[in-house]
Amino acid sequence: MKYVLMFVETEQFARQLEAMGELELRQAYEAVGQWFTEHADKITHHAHLAPVHTATTMRLDGAEPVITDGPFVEGKEVVSGFAEVEVADLDEALKIARSWPACPIVEIRPLS
């Protein structure tokens, strides 16, 4: 089965990243790189998204689409990246997600 692991940053996590020194930040990025290496045989695609302020949102709930700059809502949590994994089942996807070393929230969804 294929699942998408969506990595969700919180405001607190973003502040912690901003407060890190160069060495600590490098170690954090190395931990993420190591995670991708450890799970490379299961990851079929992954990407880091551009910052949330670069988003464009299209609302389709009215008579005409409404396009705005920025995210749909000002949220305290934003998806900052994702990895698509091919695994046997949800339990295996959860095991991989549990070891994610960065953002404090990982949303797991099956691909249909």
In the DSSP assignment, the letter for residue 63 is: S
Question: In this structure, what CATH number is given to the domain that contains residue 74?
Answer: 3.30.70.1060
- Determine the structural domain holding residue 56 and report its residue range: 2-110
- Res 71 pLDDT > 70: no
Q: What is the pTM of this model?
A: 0.86
Q: Do residues 3 and 100 make contact, with C-beta atoms less than 8 angstroms apart?
A: no
Which residue is it, tokens 């692991």?
Answer: 5
CB within 8 Å of 28: residues ≥ 6 apart: 17, 20, 101, 102
pLDDT (tens digit per residue) in 11-66: 899 999 999 999 999 999 999 999 999 999 999 999 999 988 888 888 898 899 98
What one-character DSSP code corresponds to residue 54? G
What is the number of structural domains in the chain? 1
Task: Tell me how crowded residue 97 is: count the other CB atoms within 10 A of its CB.
Answer: 20
